[in-house]
A and B are shown apart, each in its own frame.
Chain A
Amino acid sequence: MKNAETATTIDYEQIGLKVGIEIHQQLDTFNKLFCGCPTVLRDNEESCMEFSRFLKVTKSEMGEEDVAAREEVARSRKYVYLFYDTTCLVEADEEPPSELNLEALKVAVEIALLLHMRPVDEVHTMRKIVVDGSNTSGFQRTALVAMDGYIETEDGRVGIDTLCLEEEAAQKVEEKRGVVVYSLDRLGIPLVEIGTAPDIRTPHQAKQVAAKLGMILRSTEKIKRGLGTIRQDVNVSIRDGARVEIKGVQELELLDTIVENEVMRQINLLAIRDELKKRGAWVDKTVYDVTDIFADTQSKVLKKGLKQGRALASVLKRFSGLVGKEIQPERRFGSELADIAKLFGLGGIFHTDELPAYGISIEEVARLRDKVNADENDCIILIVGEENRAKNALERILKRAEYALEGVPEETRKALENGSTAYLRPLPGAARMYPETDVPPVQISGEFLKSIKLPELIDDRIERFKKEYGLNDELATVMARSSRHRLFEELVRDGHSPPLVVRILEMVLPSLEKEGINVISITDKHFKMVFNLLKSGKIAKEGIDEVLKVIAERPDITESDLNEIVSGVDVTEIEKFIKKLVQSKEEFIRDRKERAFSPLMGLVMKEFRGKVDGKVISELLRKEIQTLLNDR
């Protein structure tokens, strides 16, 4: 069997790669989507009340495959919710929702129009069943707002199928045995879900699409920024492989890696399939109770598992070596099986491709092989825990192992930090949705559409800033992306130098922030004051740092007060200072001639930095030195 393929050697066209992306972006609206609560996140410690619920899970609400697993876990799983003084009975599922937030709908339609989509005439809010507890109601409220758009990329046009407006789920805080804790602050924040068609053909293009969608979303200036406010799901399939949905990609930078790794995983799973077929491998579905073999085991993890139940084992005939085979960075085929065990609330699995290890001895492995009639060509799967749970998990694992002979299963996976993925659940069925009767439909009228003004795209603004203001690519990009781009243009219109304005707004300010200065209190008004002072020569460029520091401390300062503080020195005072200095250093100057300038300049600047333009000082100083040197 050949080694794992590496991403760079793959011809994506040849393997028939198809990728679609789904982006979830939180909107920065004043209120939540279905209640009057603010869209602010809280510290969990600030929670003023908590309550607990169960969710009713019926078979029709789960994927066929994992009914056993999920029913067992879901029906007995307790959810604890943290409530705040910024959440209300709607988040607690104790009051009907209010009507759809029109501010959010407007942003959603604005984004749809930027993506060349056609809005529906009437928006219907639906209940999408979600039984993991992340929605107190057991469903997510979601509405399809627009369809059939597109974006252009370097590698061609990519269709945008749908744009939905929906409520964000509650944030998971922790998961203990059988109890999941969620925080209600995030529940109900408006979110747009944008789904592309499976038109993307390379990992690189996937990243391009995500980047472009991100740019368009940011152009509206009505979205939340920062960690967790945007999530990407990626659908990946290759020919002979299967459609796999990867959830929760937080980092845009990882997107191409994740697609590459998934392609690799599918190729490797297909290679495993071919090898298994060649070997004539099969799965022996007998479940052996092997608890007695480990009665005196030294393995801590095994001991811990046995305290709660039994050790069960089954044999994958002629699978030897393949369960331990790496199919993605740091992920083996065995990891896929362990993922399933974890879904059942078990720690994981052991398999003989990696044993002896974890304190399990050679002798124990030999006795295990003996007991389950396995030889060196076989791989034994060992699982410990509460008997019923372990049995159900093992049965499900054997089913998955058997599927290895067929190829790649369709499934939902979750993104891991290193760009690999782990099994999450089967692909959800499509139609677990019904109307949210508590929320009336909303018309998208011509008038509503007319009230929407499309913003300039950030990419367009970068080009314009280069052309109109002669900014280089770097400065134009920084400025066009900034929330202060309007202020920039205003200041430039007032006659200030564009690069200087960019430097102050986008470089000086962040560096002050790094110093711990409270820059949030510095507003547009303040910047205008500073630039006025600069224009009238009352402060020097070099002095802007100091002036901004003064403003940060006294945000209510008036322009004339500021003027007084910064221009407490007039030029005659500087002249006096320089004359005195030059006289006192006469010998030094006569000795060094013009080279005396720099050290002296340093001394003067030390005294007047920020109060007078450095150029003025240097001229005065030069003149004075020259006068002295001329005066023999």
Chain B
Amino acid sequence: MLGKRVRVKRGENVYEGIVMPSTTGTFVLKLDSGYNIGLSSYDEVEVVEEQQESIKTKLEIPHVKGKPEVSIISTGGTIASKVDYRTGAVSSQFTAEEIVSEVPEIMNFCNVRAKLLYNILSENMKPDYWRELARNIYKDIQDGAYGIIVTHGTDTLAYTSSAISFMVSTPVPVVFVGAQRSSDRPSSDNVVNLVCSASTAVSDIGEVVVVMHGSTSDDFCYIHRAVRVRKNHTSRRDAFQTVNDFPIGVVSYPSGSISYQNDFISRGERKLELKDTLEEKCTLIKFFPGLDPDIIRFFYDRGYRGFVIEGTGLGHVSSDWIEVLREISDDSLITMTSQCINGRVCDRVYDTGRDLLKAGVIEGEDMLSETALIKTMWLLGNYELDDAKKMMKKNLVGEFRTRTGWYSEKC
């Protein structure tokens, strides 16, 4: 009876409304007032009207002459959606027309082409999807896109954007954007984030970045280097933060004007190139007191050759791990990062650290653990182990620096 208009008798009471899906097994009606109510029992149901037809409105967008063409690739995580107030259903919007009708301010910066690549929850992302995305971005740039915007669920956005950073050497801005408040709400952060993304997508930047709210206010977004950003809050708009570095820049809202705060690779500085192979047998292990070193052997025995260990403090694990690490390091890439998140790994201060280095572990400098994992996958996918080991120690796309700044507001 879903979607039908019915009249329900229940004792002396009569209710009329549209039958809605129920998650609890009760009979849920949407009354004309817009309210849903649940009834656990009723005496009589009479269908008053069959299926409600949905009203479709045709959308058109103008082409603004002289504005550059930006390609929007949707991967899920609804950056634009519409609510049908008669049924309460929320539908995701993926066409350029739909996105622009939701956030018309985009047109102040660019013309839009849009593509729905896939529609999955960000927690269901896989390296396969990263590869497909990389190829699509590569193709769009090849086809002349002046900039790319990728909409993505926020949970694993930073993994995907890191992967693209390594896989696609881009001459144009590739901007990842999401929303912490779903786009069906009037308070969604999607407007601010998309407007700032559009401005960034036509900027002078030539690298992969993440553009998200810079504060809880709708006043500006940060442009984060994709390999340096982390989701540091479960729910706040300003959850994304650049770690161990300054953000590349600040985009003001609503003007969209950008002020740069860091160095960056400029538009056109790099040649378009795609290296989309990834070694998936890589793992990220967070060390904790008492964790049995057999966990390393477990992965190794299953063919894993890429290891990122998120150690304690300056980059430590228990000394009973040294032996197994020494055993596997000849044919594995083992990188140490720190669960402190902030700061640099340094294994030359304490004995355990020195032993780890002797065992063949590479210091991950001030790299994010997640970025180190992606880098490991990409290196092992595209290079021989010896080269991979050398390249792990090299900064490739801004994933680490050799000097650590104070990174406060003023210096």
Q: Which residues of A contact B (CB under 8 A)?
A: 51-58, 60-61, 89, 92-96, 118, 120-124, 126-129, 131, 136-139, 142-144, 147-148, 162, 164, 430-435, 440-441, 443
Contacts and interface: CB of A to CB of B under 8 A. Distances in A.
Contacts of B66: none
A122 B37 contact: yes
B40 A443 contact: yes
Given A433-B85, A434-B90, A126 B38 contact: no
Interface string B10-26: 01110100001001101
A53 B90 contact: no
A128 to B, nearest CB: 7
3 closest Cβ pairs, A-B complex:
A138-B186, A122-B38, A433-B34
Contacts of B219: 52
Given A51-B216, A138-B186, A124 B38 contact: yes
A137 B187 contact: yes
A292 to B, nearest CB: 34
B393 interface: no
- Most chain A beta carbons < 10 A, residue from B20, B33, B192, B215: B33
B186 A124 contact: no
Given A96-B235, A139-B185, A148-B13, A121 B40 contact: yes
Nearest to B186: A138
Most chain B CB neighbours (cut-off 10 Å) among A60, A118, A120, A139: A120
A122 B36 CA distance: 9
Given A94-B235, A147-B13, A121 B26 contact: yes
Contacts of B28: 122, 124
Interface string B59-100: 000000000000000000000001111101110000000000
Contacts of A144: 31, 33, 35-37
A122 B236 CA distance: 31
Nearest to A435: B88
A147 B8 CA distance: 14
A431 B86 contact: yes
B24 A138 contact: no
Contacts of A53: 187, 217-218
A128 B185 CA distance: 10
B33 A430 contact: yes
A609 B189 CA distance: 70
Contacts of B32: 430-431
A54 B185 contact: no
Contacts of B140: none
B186 A131 contact: yes
B236 to A, nearest CB: 5
B181 interface: yes
B102 interface: yes
B26 A441 contact: yes
A138 B185 CA distance: 7
A121 B185 contact: no
Interface in B350-408: none
A429 B311 CA distance: 58
Interface of B: 11-13, 15, 20, 23-24, 26, 28, 31-41, 82-86, 88-90, 102-103, 181, 184-188, 190-192, 215-219, 234-237, 254
A51 B217 contact: yes
A136 B88 CA distance: 20
A138 B182 CA distance: 12
A340 to B, nearest CB: 24
Given A57-B186, A433-B34, A89 B235 contact: yes
Nearest to A131: B186
29 contacts: A51-B215, A51-B216, A51-B217, A54-B191, A54-B192, A94-B237, A95-B235, A95-B236, A96-B235, A118-B12, A120-B38, A121-B39, A122-B28, A122-B38, A126-B35, A126-B36, A129-B85, A129-B186, A144-B31, A147-B15, A431-B32, A431-B85, A433-B35, A433-B85, A433-B88, A435-B88, A441-B26, A441-B38, A443-B24
Contacts of A143: 35
B23 A441 contact: yes
A198 B32 CA distance: 17
B218 A54 contact: yes
A52 B254 CA distance: 13
Contacts of A432: 34, 85
Contacts of A121: 26, 37-41
Given A52-B218, A56-B188, A138-B187, A122 B24 contact: yes
B3 to A, nearest CB: 15
Given A54-B254, A92-B216, A123-B37, 14 more contacts: A53-B187, A54-B218, A118-B11, A124-B35, A129-B85, A136-B187, A144-B33, A147-B13, A147-B37, A430-B34, A431-B33, A433-B88, A434-B83, A441-B26
A128 B38 contact: no
A117 to B, nearest CB: 10
Nearest to B32: A430
A40 B186 CA distance: 27
A264 B215 CA distance: 51
A518 B210 CA distance: 59
Contacts of B12: 118, 148
A136 B181 CA distance: 12
A234 B78 CA distance: 40
A122 B24 CA distance: 9
B186 A55 contact: yes
A441 B28 CA distance: 10
Nearest to B88: A434
Contacts of B191: 54, 56
A147 B33 CA distance: 12
Given A121-B26, A431-B86, A441-B24, A89 B39 contact: no
Contacts of B20: 435
A129 B215 CA distance: 25
B184 A434 contact: yes
A434 to B, nearest CB: 4
Contacts of A118: 11-13
Contact of A58 (B41, B102, B190): B102
A36 to B, nearest CB: 15
A142 B83 CA distance: 17
B182 to A, nearest CB: 9
Name, among B13, B32, B186, B254, the residue most crowded by chain A CB atoms within 10 Å (CB to CB): B186
B216 A120 contact: no
Contact of B26 (A122, A129, A434): A122
A51 B217 CA distance: 5
Contacts of B39: 120-122
Nearest to B105: A75
A56 B90 contact: no
B101 to A, nearest CB: 8
A54 B185 CA distance: 12
Chain B CB within 10 Å — which of A57, A122, A440, A441 has the most? A122
Contacts of B36: 124, 126, 144, 435
Contacts of A93: 181, 187
A124 B237 CA distance: 27
A343 B24 CA distance: 44
A235 to B, nearest CB: 14
Contacts of B187: 53, 55-56, 93, 136-138
Given A94-B235, A144-B33, A123 B88 contact: no
Q: Of residues B102, B185, B215, B237, which shows the largest number of chain A Cβ atoms within 10 Å of its Cβ?
A: B185
Contacts of B24: 122, 441, 443
Contacts of B215: 51
A308 to B, nearest CB: 21
A60 B13 contact: no
Contacts of A435: 20, 36, 88
A61 B32 CA distance: 17
A121 B37 CA distance: 8
B217 A52 contact: yes
A3 to B, nearest CB: 41
A54 B24 CA distance: 36
Nearest to B36: A124
Nearest to A136: B187
A433 B35 CA distance: 7
